[in-house]
Amino acid sequence: MTGFRGDRHVLPEPDPVTVVTTALGIHEQTAPFTAVAPTQPPPGAPNVVIVVLDDLGFGTSSSFGGPCEMPTADRLADDGLRYTRFHVTALCSPTRQALMTGRNHHSVGMGGTTEMATAAPGYNGFRPRSAATLAQILQGNGYSTAAFGKWHQTPPREISPVGPFDRWPTGEGFDTFYGFMGAEMNHWYPLLYRGTTPVEPTRRPEDGYHLSEDLADQAIDWVRTQRALTPGRPFFTYLAFGASHAPLHVAPEWQRRYRGRFDHGWDAQRELTLERQKHLGVVPEEAELARWADGVPHWSQLSDNQRALACRFMETFAGFTEHADAQVGRFVDALAELGELDNTVFLYLLGDNGASGEGGIEGTTVEHRLGHGVVDDPEAMIADLDAIGGPRTYPIAPVGWALALNTPYQWTKQVASHLGGIRDGLIVHWPAGIAERGGLRHQFHHVIDVLPTVLDCAGIPEPTSVAGVAQKPVEGVSMRYTFDGPRAADRRRTQYFEMCGNRGIYHEGWMAVTRHGIPWQMVPEAGRSLRADRWELYHLDRDWTQAHDLADRHPDRLRELQELFLIEAAKHQVFPLDPRVTERENPTLAGRIDLLGDRREVTYSAGMRRFTEETTPNVKNRSHTIAADVEIPAGAGGVIIAQGGRFGGWSLYCVDGRIHYDYNYFDLEHYTVRTAEAPPPGRHDVRVEFHYDGGGYGMGGTVVVTVDGVKRADGRVERTIPYYFSFDETLDVGVDLGTPVTDDYPPIDNAFTGTVHTVRIELDGLAPDPDPSAETARERRILAAQ
């Protein structure tokens, strides 16, 4: 049997009607049987490739006038179409969930990143089964499907060896997955998954390893294999790089390509970028630079050290970005060599949100510090200038560069109210289906429009039922009408935006917005009311860049748009608004349930590893005990148990037989407690008792180390990490994978030389609220209860 048995509205397709058996033996069977063929795609259905770069910003790439050379993007744009008014959601997970489902991010539970999920319906991080993914739909219509790189859509408590796995890539429609599950990843020492199986690269940075290259290699190998084995089936490849999200990791030779090219500073860069954008036609000639963000210094206001640091951060970002684009180029070349490029609908998203301002005023060599309100001193960072971008750093660039990379718009990532956070370049390349080469498309579109566009190109209808679940309507509209219609009227007339309390509403050329938070202040100002936010009004048909606020001149129109926002927000599960950022990244404070729930004790066995923070006991802001049953040989070394890595975490380990406990406070301070002597060889009960001071979040504590019930060492940890240790490191028993918590042992080759029988973590009570009488504390408890 060939062809598709159903009408493509019900997936998977119904089982075929079988011929009735009419004989005892096959030679007597009179009615012929027909072999059941796999589901077939529509005739002539194109391949589909979606490439996503991270944290880029509209004015970043050379193809949209920016300073980062991206020859592959230029090549595809010159042979395809540039979309100049394409919008995303202002954060990673929400954009990706919207892209994959064709529904607005709150409609599918992704009002923030997966690490920021709460219990509220629009923010719980769980995609409803009534919103099938693009991969599920294409897979159900006969496509081969594969995803590589950053996923960031699975609830964190489900990222464990016990699953469930239905919200992993391979449970959401991808036959193959190779990549990482969270917000970001160390590009020198990544912790990856193949399918649902944890894997680590066999090569190291000193061998020339880099994650972006690895992802491209995997994607190329898969496509070549797919074409060799099933050349009659189209494929869907989703290639999502960690670049250019922090950490900015790239080899020095890519940095050196940009040495000295940013010495003019971010103010001048905005002017240069706008000039190039006008020349390319991606903004109109009358476009103006939007206003500079309050509180961000101009280049002339920086010290010499601040400028030197800022230049090196930007050189690293640009090299990181160009290097990622070069890997996309290798993948494009592979498609061309296979003869598949012309009939591939290739969508290149130059960002899932605007460039990130989360690096703060100075930038930082360790991103997580700023997430907790810890600001690096430029005088300290300048001493390690040449280390930036290498394995010993976890850098993110200053906000001044983010504003420049979002030229000509206002604000940055997280700020869904202003175009700097939500407008990114999109390139669509499909020579077999688009006649014009190098065209510009100015229609207003949103990332939810990707799914219906792909289905339109493939000749596949939106399904009404998937896996027995009735589907809610797709909220996006196909962009295919623009392929041969450069002046076609917009079909997206209304679109709401919301992220971290920043919100806006677009309707028929007008946009009303209000900004609530500041992205580089991720521990928000206490007591600021959402009701007090000031709304702005822009006429985008005449003011392309939100340069002129018309709120005072058109109060009636502003009021109408504010009311429309309320209607759209209610429709799509946006309420209650939740402006918290870093605080939501601690599951206890966010009010969501982690894997362990109310359990206060977990026992691990030897060899258990790769547990994320939401699948382990939450030892932050509370007293706890680590109890290890271990066989310690003479001169023992290596790790008994560790959580986190070089940029924050803790570790229990041995050096020359002596027992050590190290608490790593953002790689700024190491509090190490060690026994004076090694215990005699044999089996021992080693306990670390952490007595938390209480009185708030991130306070210190006293550490006591006992061996077989006898106190052997004690010490102080003056400051602790209150919200999260890391997005990319894990808890491991018998080894410290990824980067090491301490330099007392090396990366990777640090397995315990003895035997770990069990390690038990026991939790004491939570720390008290730092100010129980404060209004913000009360609001926090209310939101947690919701």
pLDDT band at 3 (very low <50, low <70, confident <90, very high): low
Q: Which two tokens stand for residue 285?
A: 């000639």
Handedness of CA 569, 571, 577, 581 (dihedral sign): negative
Check residue 780 and give its pLDDT.
37
Confidence of residue 770 (pLDDT cuts 50, 70, 90): very low
Cross-strand partners of 51 = 239, 348
768 has a pLDDT exceeding 60: no
Q: Distance between CA 248 and CA 388 in Å, rounded?
A: 8
d(CA 615, CA 625): 17
Sheet strands (E) in 325-467: 344-350, 423-429, 439-441, 445-446, 465-466
Which tokens hold the place of 679? 């215990």
Span(s) in the chain for CATH 2.60.120.200: 587-766
pLDDT in tens, 22-74: 899 998 888 888 877 888 999 999 999 999 999 999 999 999 999 999 999 99
pLDDT tens sequence across 289-321: 999 999 999 999 999 999 999 999 999 999 999
Which pLDDT tens digit goes with each residue over 381-440? Answer: 999 999 999 999 999 999 999 999 999 999 999 999 999 999 999 999 999 999 999 999
The lowest-confidence range among 13-17, 151-155, 447-451, 500-504 is 13-17
User: What pLDDT, on a 0 to 100 scale, did the predictor assign at position 112?
Assistant: 97
pLDDT band with cut points at 50, 70 and 90 for residue 551:
very high
What does the pLDDT look like over 462-515, one tens digit per residue?
999 999 999 999 999 999 999 999 999 999 999 999 999 999 999 999 999 999
**Residues 404-421: pLDDT tens digits?**
999 999 999 999 999 999
Average pLDDT over residues 244-256: 98
What are the phi and psi torsion angles at 261 (to 5°)?
-80, -5
**Of the listed ranges 62-71, 515-524, 541-550, 670-679, the one predicted with least confidence:** 515-524
> What pLDDT does residue 594 have?
80
Q: Compute the average pLDDT of residues 619-636.
A: 97
pLDDT classification of 781: cutoffs 50, 70, 90: very low
* Mean pLDDT for the stretch of residues 331-336: 98
For domain 47-497, the CATH architecture is 3-Layer(aba) Sandwich (3.40)
Euclidean distance between CA atoms 217 and 71, whole angstroms:
19
pLDDT of residue 586: 83
Contact 225, 235 (CB under 8 A): no
Cα separations in angstroms, 641 against 79, 194, 497, 636, 660:
53, 24, 43, 14, 11
Q: How far apart are CA 551 and CA 510, in angstroms?
A: 11
Is there a contact between 268 and 178 (Cβ–Cβ < 8 Å)?
A: no
How many other C-beta atoms are found inside a 10 Å radius of the C-beta of residue 725?
A: 22
Q: Which fold has domain 587-766?
A: Jelly Rolls (2.60.120)
54-64 burial code (b ≥16 CB/10 A, e <16): bbbbbbbbbbb
pLDDT number for residue 568? 98
Q: What is the Cα–Cα distance from 430 to 435, expressed in whole angstroms?
A: 9
| Span(s) in the chain for CATH 3.30.1120.10 | 498-585
Share of the chain above pLDDT 90, in %: 89
Q: Quick one: fold of 498-585?
A: Arylsulfatase, C-terminal domain (3.30.1120)
* Predicted pLDDT of residue 778: 32
